[in-house]
Structure 1
Amino acid sequence: MGVMIQALFCDDMRRDEQGTFILVGVYPGIIFLEKSVEKSVGNYIQVSALPVGDHKMRLRVIFEPEGGGKTLILAKQSTSVSIEKTSMPFVVTPTGLRLALETNGVIRLFIGIDEEDDQEVTSLKVKIEDDSSEEEVEEVEG
């Protein structure tokens, strides 16, 4: 069995006294954002079956605008991991990914371990809410 990586986007994560994670505001594959309004999100990433020893892990988050356009690198991070037991999963919880996007598209999370190529482990569709669809309220003189 090879290395398995599971990941998701959420608003926040907490770890309780027993070591379990509480995930807050998990996104089911889509996030609705207001145009150019900053929103902070995080990732819960679990890596299983990583061999015993020291490893280097790379994380990269990109945004691909719908219909083409320039791909944006939202975050890049590297970390070292020391695994003592293959049976124990390794968890990474990067937070504070700031989004202030203006167009629909897709956010993609890539992870690479050691010399392996980076692989996409999860994605999140971005839908920008359109203010123009709101009906204008007219004042009525009485």
Structure 2
Amino acid sequence: MTDHALPIPSPPPPTPPKARPRAAVVMLGALVLALVGASVLTIVLFVGARDEHSLEVQRLDQTNRSLTEAEGRLEETETSIDTVAGRISTLEAQNAELHKCADPAKDSINAAKGDDDAVLRDAVGRAADNC
């Protein structure tokens, strides 16, 4: 061994790992996790909204059917009212016609109960004219 041998340099100490890449990886992982969670939440909300929409469409259809049935019943009722009103008018006309005879006849009966022959003749005459 010679005195002039060069010493072998020792390898440089390992460099400590940088904290930034690890923090970036953790940050990106958290961001990906948040995006996945938001995507799942969006899908769940969309499916729920679609189901609610279907239910509301069914309710709307049922309400429309009920409304159509109610309108049909209303038309039937209005027709019945018109029929009854016409029948009432007919009966009132018949009643007025019958009273033309009945009222003088009733008056003649009441006059017959009394003693006045002139009133009786007048009442019987009116009854004869109207009956």
Q: What TM-score results when the alignment is normalised by the length of structure 2?
A: 0.16
Q: Which has the higher helix share?
A: 2
Greater strand proportion: 1
Q: Which has the higher contact order (CA 8 A, sep 6+)?
A: 1
